[in-house]
Amino acid sequence: MNTSIKQILEGVKDGRLSVEEAALKLKLAPFEDIGYAKVDMHRALRQGVAEVIYGAGKTPEQIIGIADTLRKNNRNTILITRLDKDQAAELEQTCALTYHAGARIGIIGDLPRPDGIGKILEATAGTSDIPVAEEAALTA
Protein backbone atom coordinates (compact mmCIF):
# COMPACT_ATOMS: atom_id res chain seq x y z
CA MET A 1 0.00 0.00 0.00
CA ASN A 2 1.16 3.52 -0.72
CA THR A 3 3.11 5.04 2.17
CA SER A 4 1.06 8.25 2.18
CA ILE A 5 -2.19 6.29 2.48
CA LYS A 6 -0.76 4.32 5.41
CA GLN A 7 0.32 7.55 7.08
CA ILE A 8 -3.16 9.02 6.68
CA LEU A 9 -4.83 5.89 8.06
CA GLU A 10 -2.39 5.77 10.97
CA GLY A 11 -3.16 9.44 11.64
CA VAL A 12 -6.86 8.60 12.00
CA LYS A 13 -6.04 5.59 14.18
CA ASP A 14 -3.78 7.69 16.45
CA GLY A 15 -6.25 10.58 16.62
CA ARG A 16 -3.96 13.05 14.81
CA LEU A 17 -6.50 13.34 11.95
CA SER A 18 -10.28 13.40 11.95
CA VAL A 19 -12.15 11.20 9.50
CA GLU A 20 -13.09 14.34 7.54
CA GLU A 21 -9.46 15.51 7.36
CA ALA A 22 -8.36 12.06 6.23
CA ALA A 23 -11.07 11.93 3.56
CA LEU A 24 -9.90 15.28 2.17
CA LYS A 25 -6.25 14.18 2.19
CA LEU A 26 -7.15 10.95 0.38
CA LYS A 27 -9.16 12.90 -2.18
CA LEU A 28 -6.24 15.23 -2.91
CA ALA A 29 -3.43 12.68 -2.47
CA PRO A 30 -3.69 10.86 -5.80
CA PHE A 31 -2.33 13.76 -7.84
CA GLU A 32 0.66 16.02 -7.48
CA ASP A 33 0.34 19.22 -9.50
CA ILE A 34 3.75 20.35 -10.74
CA GLY A 35 2.44 23.19 -12.90
CA TYR A 36 2.64 21.62 -16.35
CA ALA A 37 1.42 18.16 -15.32
CA LYS A 38 -0.73 16.48 -12.71
CA VAL A 39 1.17 13.35 -11.80
CA ASP A 40 -1.09 10.44 -10.83
CA MET A 41 0.46 8.90 -7.73
CA HIS A 42 -2.31 6.35 -7.09
CA ARG A 43 -2.78 4.92 -10.56
CA ALA A 44 -1.23 1.61 -9.51
CA LEU A 45 -3.73 1.31 -6.64
CA ARG A 46 -6.69 1.94 -8.95
CA GLN A 47 -5.50 0.25 -12.14
CA GLY A 48 -2.89 -2.29 -11.09
CA VAL A 49 -0.34 -0.54 -13.31
CA ALA A 50 1.74 2.46 -12.26
CA GLU A 51 1.77 5.82 -14.02
CA VAL A 52 3.70 5.92 -17.31
CA ILE A 53 5.14 9.10 -18.81
CA TYR A 54 3.96 9.72 -22.38
CA GLY A 55 7.02 11.44 -23.84
CA ALA A 56 5.62 12.72 -27.15
CA GLY A 57 5.16 16.47 -27.09
CA LYS A 58 7.01 16.94 -23.81
CA THR A 59 10.33 18.69 -23.37
CA PRO A 60 13.17 16.78 -21.71
CA GLU A 61 12.85 19.17 -18.76
CA GLN A 62 9.16 18.30 -18.34
CA ILE A 63 9.90 14.58 -18.51
CA ILE A 64 12.65 14.98 -15.89
CA GLY A 65 10.29 16.97 -13.65
CA ILE A 66 7.60 14.28 -13.86
CA ALA A 67 10.16 11.51 -13.30
CA ASP A 68 11.60 13.35 -10.28
CA THR A 69 8.10 13.68 -8.82
CA LEU A 70 7.51 9.95 -9.26
CA ARG A 71 10.89 9.09 -7.71
CA LYS A 72 10.20 11.41 -4.77
CA ASN A 73 7.06 9.33 -4.18
CA ASN A 74 8.91 6.00 -4.03
CA ARG A 75 8.62 4.99 -7.67
CA ASN A 76 11.87 3.22 -8.51
CA THR A 77 10.93 2.12 -12.02
CA ILE A 78 9.65 4.69 -14.50
CA LEU A 79 8.55 3.87 -18.03
CA ILE A 80 8.65 6.68 -20.62
CA THR A 81 6.86 5.90 -23.89
CA ARG A 82 7.08 7.61 -27.30
CA LEU A 83 10.50 8.97 -26.47
CA ASP A 84 12.59 10.09 -29.43
CA LYS A 85 16.36 9.74 -29.59
CA ASP A 86 17.01 13.46 -29.01
CA GLN A 87 14.87 13.47 -25.86
CA ALA A 88 16.61 10.28 -24.70
CA ALA A 89 20.07 11.79 -25.28
CA GLU A 90 19.20 14.77 -23.07
CA LEU A 91 17.66 12.57 -20.37
CA GLU A 92 20.71 10.29 -20.31
CA GLN A 93 22.79 13.29 -19.21
CA THR A 94 20.75 13.75 -16.03
CA CYS A 95 19.50 10.29 -15.04
CA ALA A 96 20.25 6.59 -15.46
CA LEU A 97 18.05 5.97 -18.49
CA THR A 98 18.00 2.80 -20.57
CA TYR A 99 16.76 3.70 -24.05
CA HIS A 100 15.20 1.17 -26.43
CA ALA A 101 15.29 2.95 -29.79
CA GLY A 102 13.19 0.39 -31.68
CA ALA A 103 10.38 0.66 -29.14
CA ARG A 104 10.91 4.38 -28.47
CA ILE A 105 10.86 3.64 -24.74
CA GLY A 106 13.07 4.91 -21.96
CA ILE A 107 13.29 3.15 -18.62
CA ILE A 108 14.60 4.67 -15.42
CA GLY A 109 15.35 1.88 -12.96
CA ASP A 110 14.73 -1.80 -13.60
CA LEU A 111 11.60 -3.38 -15.01
CA PRO A 112 10.08 -6.03 -12.76
CA ARG A 113 10.79 -9.62 -13.72
CA PRO A 114 8.01 -11.34 -15.66
CA ASP A 115 5.88 -13.47 -13.36
CA GLY A 116 5.25 -16.07 -16.07
CA ILE A 117 1.50 -15.81 -15.67
CA GLY A 118 -0.47 -15.47 -18.90
CA LYS A 119 0.54 -15.15 -22.50
CA ILE A 120 0.47 -12.23 -24.87
CA LEU A 121 0.27 -12.42 -28.64
CA GLU A 122 1.52 -9.48 -30.66
CA ALA A 123 0.61 -9.09 -34.31
CA THR A 124 1.44 -6.30 -36.72
CA ALA A 125 -0.04 -5.30 -40.04
CA GLY A 126 3.38 -4.50 -41.46
CA THR A 127 6.78 -3.01 -40.83
CA SER A 128 5.44 0.42 -39.88
CA ASP A 129 3.76 -1.20 -36.85
CA ILE A 130 6.97 -2.75 -35.52
CA PRO A 131 7.85 0.15 -33.18
CA VAL A 132 4.38 -0.07 -31.61
CA ALA A 133 4.74 -3.86 -31.23
CA GLU A 134 8.17 -3.40 -29.63
CA GLU A 135 6.68 -0.81 -27.27
CA ALA A 136 3.88 -3.23 -26.35
CA ALA A 137 6.37 -6.03 -25.68
CA LEU A 138 8.40 -3.92 -23.26
CA THR A 139 5.32 -2.45 -21.61
CA ALA A 140 3.76 -5.87 -21.02
What is the per-residue pLDDT for 3? 55
What is the per-residue pLDDT for 28? 73
Task: Average pLDDT across each block of 10 residues of the chain; the chain has 140 residues. List them in order.
Answer: 75 94 81 91 79 94 95 88 95 93 94 84 89 88
**By C-alpha distance, which of 126, 118, 43, 30 is closest to 78?**
43
Q: Helical H runs in 35-105?
A: 43-47, 60-72, 85-92
Its pTM stands at: 0.77
User: How many residues are recorded in the chain?
Assistant: 140
